[in-house]
């Protein structure tokens, strides 16, 4: 649906000062055409967006991400920056609408890839902040929704985003660039904290494959000697890749099957895992088998540490049953070679698990370590409450 409107946009780009009705990109305010050349930039932009969307659709087939979450986050942010730079908008409200629209399309392409939505919300928050700064009002007053303000002023945000500021675009792009640099440094920031948490001669357990945890452990291995047990995480068996990668760096690694997690847990000192998403209540949406691992760790009173960069924090709650779980083809579980029984049997292959926050000891993110009970605060710093529902 957006495509048709883009075509109109490119046509209109050559006409100056035409006010059009019922176009979401244009409303009552006069439209200033920027100095960018006409149709080619727009089609180029839409091409990139379409390419990104199809990439998302293809990449999330559940057989392990073809790209890691960090790359997805970076690409999303880069794309949003491009949209900010190249799309037609005059006020912050327009920009937010554009971004929200594109964001909804991107989320619909791959609902389980939450980093896309998170980045969209981050950018929206950036726009709000920049707008507020340009307007000159104090940031604190706008950010904190005190009870007094809610009662007295009513919805204060609605009418505010119509003003046009010339420097807004440049400011927003600058802050998005800062966000991009932050994204690039997240893994390093997390790995730098490794030595604070791992002592020598430890036995650490992990599950599946997480690039963050891999970097974390490799960084600690430069100075300390410890032993890692990797649970292979059937049916995708990504633990194998993790184990080979760790052992190549000289870390003593053992691969165990998922069934042996409880059996060996009594000799494990720490459990360090990565996750796909950190939910708003401090819980996790992680790869399947993580809940069992967390329960076993709780039974043996072993600390469970989650290495998650801030871009994985999502304002979703786990109660939305229909959107929480994602399934892939059951032939991973019961292959077609099994023959006659296939038609009489239901086979399930869920990809994710929910881990409640009571089982988690610590979150390590690029801005330091937090308890799960603190996650709601971090969320209010990163996202504006109105953006929780895109």
Q: Where are the beta strands (DSSP E) in 164-320?
A: 203-207, 227-231, 252-256, 270-273, 277-278, 284-287, 304-307
Instruction: From 12-20, 95-103, 151-159, 262-270, give the range in contact with another protein by CB under 8 A.
Output: 262-270
Alpha carbons 182 and 193: distance in angstroms, whole number: 16
Alpha carbons 277 and 89: distance in angstroms, whole number: 32
By beta-carbon proximity to another protein, the closer residue of 18 and 333 is 333
Alpha carbons 307 and 203: distance in angstroms, whole number: 17
CB of 259 to another protein, least distance (A): 3
Q: 């469970």: which residue's tokens?
A: 304
CB of 376 to another protein, least distance (A): 24
Taking CB under 8 A as the rule, does residue 67 contact another protein? no
Q: 């000289």: which residue's tokens?
A: 250
Taking CB under 8 A as the rule, does residue 210 contact another protein? no
Alpha carbons 209 and 233: distance in angstroms, whole number: 9
Tokens of 98: 């554009």
CB of 280 to another protein, least distance (A): 20
Q: Figure out which of the listed residues 23, 137, 177, 244 binds another protein, where binding follows CB under 8 A.
A: 244
Instruction: From 78-86, 113-121, 303-311, 339-347, give the range in contact with another protein by CB under 8 A.
Output: 339-347
Taking CB under 8 A as the rule, does residue 243 contact another protein? yes
Handedness of CA 41, 47, 50, 52 (dihedral sign): negative
Alpha carbons 247 and 109: distance in angstroms, whole number: 37
The number of C-alpha atoms within 13 Å of 81 and in the hemisphere containing its C-beta is: 16
On whether the CB atoms of residues 80 and 119 are closer than 8 A, the answer is yes
Alpha carbons 157 and 364: distance in angstroms, whole number: 34
Instruction: From 29-37, 53-61, 312-320, 332-340, give the range in contact with another protein by CB under 8 A.
Output: 332-340
For 318, which DSSP code?
T
Instruction: From 3-11, 19-27, 40-48, 247-255, give the range in contact with another protein by CB under 8 A.
Output: 247-255
Instruction: From 75-83, 170-178, 234-242, 380-388, give the range in contact with another protein by CB under 8 A.
Output: 234-242
Taking CB under 8 A as the rule, does residue 225 contact another protein? no
Taking CB under 8 A as the rule, does residue 226 contact another protein? no
Q: Figure out which of the listed residues 104, 149, 248, 377 binds another protein, where binding follows CB under 8 A.
A: 248
Among candidate residues 160, 140, 125, the one with its CA nearest the CA of residue 311: 125
By beta-carbon proximity to another protein, the closer residue of 180 and 255 is 255
- Residues contacting another protein: total by CB under 8 A: 51
Q: Figure out which of the listed residues 34, 143, 247, 269 binds another protein, where binding follows CB under 8 A.
A: 247
Q: Can you give the binding site for another protein, defined by CB under 8 A?
A: 63, 232-237, 240-241, 243-244, 247-248, 250-264, 266-267, 288-289, 291-292, 295-296, 299, 325, 333-334, 338, 341, 344-350, 353-354
């Amino acid at each position: 649906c957006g495509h048709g409107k883009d075509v109109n946009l490119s046509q209109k780009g050559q006409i100056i000062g035409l006010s059009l009705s019922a176009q979401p990109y244009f409303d009552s305010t006069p439209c200033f055409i920027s100095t960018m050349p006409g149709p080619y930039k727009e089609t180029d932009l839409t091409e990139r967006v379409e390419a990104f969307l199809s990439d998302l659709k293809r990449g999330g087939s559940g057989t392990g991400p073809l790209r890691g979450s960090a790359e997805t986050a970076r690409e999303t942010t880069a794309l949003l920056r491009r949209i900010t730079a190249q799309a037609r908008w005059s006020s912050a409200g327009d920009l937010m609408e554009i971004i929200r629209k594109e964001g909804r399309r991107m989320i619909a392409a791959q609902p389980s890839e939450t980093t896309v939505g998170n980045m969209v919300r981050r950018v929206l928050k950036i726009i709000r902040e920049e707008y507020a700064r340009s307007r000159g009002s104090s940031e604190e007053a706008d950010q904190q929704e005190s009870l007094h303000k809610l009662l007295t002023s009513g919805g204060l945000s609605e009418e505010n985003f119509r003003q046009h500021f010339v420097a807004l675009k440049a400011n927003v792009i600058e802050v998005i660039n800062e966000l991009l640099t932050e994204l690039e440094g997240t893994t390093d920031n997390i790995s730098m904290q490794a030595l604070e948490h791992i002592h020598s001669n430890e036995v650490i357990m992990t599950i599946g494959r997480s690039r963050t945890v891999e970097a974390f452990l490799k960084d600690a291995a430069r100075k300390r000697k410890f032993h890692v047990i990797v649970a292979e995480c059937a049916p995708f068996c990504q633990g194998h890749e993790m184990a080979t990668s760790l052992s190549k760096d000289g870390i003593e690694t053992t691969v165990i099957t998922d069934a042996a997690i409880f059996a060996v847990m009594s000799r494990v000192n720490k459990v360090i895992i990565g996750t796909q998403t950190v939910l708003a209540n401090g819980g996790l949406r992680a790869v399947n088998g993580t809940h069992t691992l967390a329960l076993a760790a709780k039974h043996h009173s072993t600390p469970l540490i989650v290495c998650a960069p801030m871009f994985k924090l999502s304002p979703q709650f786990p109660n939305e049953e229909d959107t929480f779980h994602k399934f892939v083809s059951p032939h991973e579980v019961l292959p077609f070679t099994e023959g006659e029984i296939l038609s009489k049997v239901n086979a399930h292959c869920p990809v994710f698990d929910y881990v409640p926050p009571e089982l988690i000891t610590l979150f390590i993110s690029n801005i330091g370590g937090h308890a799960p009970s603190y996650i709601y605060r971090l969320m209010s710093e990163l996202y504006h409450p109105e953006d929780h529902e895109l």
